[in-house]
Amino acid sequence: MSEHEPVVLGQPTVGDEELAAVAEVFRSGWLAGAGPACRRFEERFAKTVGTAHALTTSNCGSALFLGLRVLGVKPGDEVIVGDYTFPATGHAVLQAGATPVFADIRPDVWSADPASIEALITPRTVGILAVDVAGQPGDFDEYRAIADKHGLWLFEDAACAAGATYKTRPAGSLADLAAFSFHGRKGITAGEGGALVSDREDLIAHARKLHTYGIEPAITREGSGALPIPEFHELGYNFRLSDVQAAIMNVQLDRLPDLLAARRSVAKRYHEAFENLPGIDVPVELPDREHPWQAYILTVAPEIDRDALALRIREQGVQCNFGTYASHLQPIYGKKQTLPVSADLFARHLAIPMHANLTDAQVDRVIGTVSAALPS
């Protein structure tokens, strides 16, 4: 790569192995969703994240929505949601007919503050939807204690968290349900896609029907000696992952240890370069957690104009962006809450390039560009 080419913010790691896996699906004749490749990936992914069951979905948003549906969420319910997240999390609650109530976040790791969650519980609260921000799990022991105390369910938005751990337990195994994303910027990807995982067979079985219009997927009728004709008893959706995407995900799962190691190596170099640099703070990785580094987000000092800094960095060919959203500030939610920690970090966070393909030279360029762009 030329030194003048941009250093991109995110990039998938794909190659001949993924192409060969797709070719095998082409030869099989089963390209549609919920087929043999999906089942293979589901079995393997469940083992990876430490759950008994997994269901592939069209994306993480559909996994979140399906999870809320099978948990029985209905109009009039309130769901407490970690505020610092892409609004797909809150959107899923709205799509289920309920009201998202956003919890403010810890200032160090940006996941929902347990004290904020507890203060928001009302008689209408039915559950907690906790987000693994940038992939690092939140305080799930505390979340579970609050949920059990108040008779609530606990749902993990693990969109960015493949490969992360919390007190040695894999992300995805920390709640009643968890949802993952396989979008192009995630640690493992098929371009799009998602998964819903759980130890509860009843929840995943119900979600499996709902994600195929309300009936069992066609693969369950393969090889039948009769002519089974499914019946539709409830409204379902088309939220299936295609077998083409599942074939890619099976290869990506093989790559996961190497992809995580590459991202952690980049994060280590960023830490060493930036941790004592005035004007920015590096992200925190708590000692009882393993961070997958789906994103690397710097916190810019209040006296520095974050937006102007980002433009100076971009002018040098290094991509960067804001971190993620303080969801409660988005107009769709009515701006009914004041969450000072999340709002402050929304204005000061800066995401810099983080992916498994970054070369040493590119990391050097990012470090040099960010350092030079900071006010002296």
Which secondary structure element, helix H or strand E, spans residue 78, and what is its range?
strand 78-82
Edge-to-edge order in the sheet of strand 289-290: 169-170, 165-166, 289-290
Whether 186 sits among the annotated catalytic residues: the reply is yes
Beta strand pairing status for 99-103 and 78-82?
A: parallel
Give me the helices (H) in 318-359, please.
Answer: 340-348
Nearest Cα to Cα of residue 296 among 136, 106, 162, 60: 136
Separation in Å, CA 116 to CA 55, 83, 287, 339: 31, 11, 23, 10
In whole angstroms, give the CA distance from residue 102 to residue 86: 13
Using DSSP, state whether 159 is helix, strand or coil.
coil
- The values of phi and psi at residue 232, to 5°, are -100, 120
Give me the helices (H) in the chain, please.
Answer: 16-28, 36-49, 60-70, 88-95, 114-120, 140-150, 201-210, 243-274, 306-315, 340-348, 360-373
- The single-letter code of the amino acid at 206 is H
Nearest Cα to Cα of residue 130 among 74, 64, 195: 64
Beta strand pairing status for 78-82 and 169-170?
A: unpaired
Residue pair 374/279 in contact by the 8 Å Cβ criterion: yes
- The single-letter code of the amino acid at 369 is T
- Active-site option among 186, 209, 268, 336: 186
Half-sphere exposure of 12 (CA within 13 A, CB side): 17
- The values of phi and psi at residue 239, to 5°, are -115, 30
Half-sphere exposure of 80 (CA within 13 A, CB side): 29
In whole angstroms, give the CA distance from residue 256 to residue 250: 10
What positions carry a catalytic annotation? 186
